[in-house]
Structure 1
């Protein structure tokens, strides 16, 4: 039950058996009034105040929160953000893939902890979050700001779920607007230049990206049993992350792709030069093991420069080349979605919609032809009668 205790005086019976107040050992020192209430665990919790009215209001509010199921222990909120992140939140992200773990850790160390790590959780407000967004927006692109803030928002929501803080201060904080990236596919000549410029061990990865639309991890994770030379198909089932062969991120990523002779020839030529690695991996590093992303990225960057392509050209741009080829071949958008491993058609159209033919006269006369055909049919039936 909520109550308030006087820390400066205690009530005792005097010699006449009457109640009177006598000073305590801490009389005149510190805060006088102690709010007392029962926590969810059945134990008494307390907090000292200068004024009795404040202590009464606080104890009543905490009791009410306990009954409503919204109780938050004030002492929990005194831990620092870095402490909560390192000891509780980050170690619990066991569902994340290795690439995501590395990315989250980098954002925490580089952006979140330096600015907010020493703040006590209960003191963080929405104004603090707005100031944080403004600070990182001065040095990061809007898309990166959104990613960093998503990590912080997830951390703070976990603190709410753990009853460390009552509400997430990251909610309803506006982020800088990120302009959509307009895809400009590589030309066939640029793809050829990349294939010639990259180290021979990784040449096949270029053709798997450009010729089958495989993502980087999927290209490096292709195994011998997943290539069907007889049916001219490649089965995308797993990917390489952190030097390990792991499951694909989504169910849509699992797909069966028809392979051109060009791609199958490149696979054959590669397998004639290098033996498969662990798990029958086709593409391996110099040690015959799964390719590490950092070493591949170094070779990729050198190839981009040697091929004379713009700095910042990504492996993902090979997928864009593949998608543009399918669009040019007039494939149905749903087929393109399936071949790219997109979860939804909206993802495909949002990314590549501008590459589809957009003629304002396209379809002109289609409805008229349908109506005219119906009229002609009616007239033919009338004449027959």
Structure 2
């Protein structure tokens, strides 16, 4: 049974050598290994409650040694959590690492992981939310990194519960897609570095993401079937698997796009692994280098600062919608995981007029009556 020991007085009431020094009351309980565990407290009631709680957890089979939570957040992240993230993509690892360095370590790096409370988490979110340089989406991803790490600590039996649970985050305002105009797309192609010009047409004419465009290999371009087979993407100067299985897709393309690819191939030899687009050193282009060229092109084209390569993808989707391509086909060509993702992103671009389809049902039923010879007034 759990008990409390007075560190300042002996059983006979005499003072111990520790009288007046340090915490007075020692909670004593038995751990799952049968050995005594202890923790000192200022107040007797706190020691009693803690000992009882530990005893209850042991009996329930949910006991966690309080000493395990004394490891610092930084030490746990760098020695146990982060090195074992072998199942995630390199991009995701970079995202986690960035949030650890820039936000989580400054706030909690030297704190014992077992000392973090839900109040600490709420304060962390509030501080980030007040930072004018952080968007709500960045706050969400930074907090998600911390929440995932803390859940790992629960799974590793470092802490009892995840303090990040039930913490409200700032609302993310939905971004209404306003597609680029054809003039803007062509303008970007004209001012972007010639080595990267074809990437504009891969984004606007095939819906490829930046990494997919930079990682497209020549053998995956089928000039006869007029299609592009998306199978890999470029990350940090090398080809890697796509993020999801849904991203793997065959995209039909117009002759204009194929002609741009031909022109590029005549001007530039394929890079490593026969990649279509390479940098000036004939290596696979890195995002940082491409982004620098892209930002200059956006400025030269007179487009708003912040115009992204991903906006070319929105142009592609909006063009398909305007052409009457059905949503399911658009989903496949975009590499979306579900039709819901397609509608959530581009639903406002689909025709939605109250007169759309009006008369179709009447015409169908009238035609059926005429074909069957049934008189609607007489019945059968």
In structure 2, the residue matched to 1:282 is 276
In structure 2, the residue matched to 1:68 is 60
1:58 Cα shift? 2.4
Q: Distance in 2 between matches of 1:251 and 1:170?
A: 30
In structure 2, the residue matched to 1:80 is 72
In structure 1, the residue matched to 2:159 is 165
Q: Distance in 2 between matches of 1:214 and 1:6?
A: 70
Q: Distance in 1 between matches of 2:70 and 2:346?
A: 49
In structure 1, the residue matched to 2:40 is 48
SS for the counterpart of 2:270 is coil
Q: Distance in 2 between matches of 1:132 and 1:298?
A: 32
In structure 1, the residue matched to 2:99 is 107
In structure 2, the residue matched to 1:17 is none
1:183 Cα shift? 0.6
1:36 Cα shift? 2.5
In the alignment, which of 297, 307, 311 is matched to residue 291 of structure 2? 297
1:38 maps to 2:33: no
1:352 maps to 2:358: no
Q: Distance in 2 between matches of 1:189 and 1:239?
A: 28
Q: Distance in 2 between matches of 1:123 and 1:63?
A: 20
**Deviates further, 43-52 or 194-203:** 43-52
1:53 Cα shift? 5.1
Whether the 8 Å CA contact 1:35–1:58 is kept in 2: the answer is yes
SS for the counterpart of 1:114 is helix
1:23 Cα shift? 6.4
Whether the 8 Å CA contact 1:99–1:242 is kept in 2: the answer is no
1:160 Cα shift? 1.7
1:172 Cα shift? 1.4
Post-superposition CA distance 1:162-221 (Å, at most 9, x none):
222222221111111111101111111111111110111111111111111000000001
Whether the 8 Å CA contact 2:369–2:376 is kept in 1: the answer is no
1:238 maps to 2:232: yes
1:328 maps to 2:328: no
Whether the 8 Å CA contact 1:183–1:351 is kept in 2: the answer is yes
Question: CA RMSD of the aligned region, Å?
Answer: 2.4
Post-superposition CA distance 1:296-346 (Å, at most 9, x none):
000010111111111100000010111111111101100000000000001
In structure 2, the residue matched to 1:270 is 264
1:52 Cα shift? 5.0
1:182 maps to 2:176: yes
Q: Distance in 2 between matches of 1:169 and 1:297?
A: 38
1:253 Cα shift? 0.5
1:8 Cα shift? 5.0
Q: Distance in 2 between matches of 1:245 and 1:314?
A: 22
Instruction: Give runs of aligned pairs for residues 112-123 of structure 1, distance below 5 A.
Output: 112-123=104-115
Structure 2, unpaired ranges of 5+: none
User: Whose radius of gyration is greater, 1 or 2?
Assistant: 1
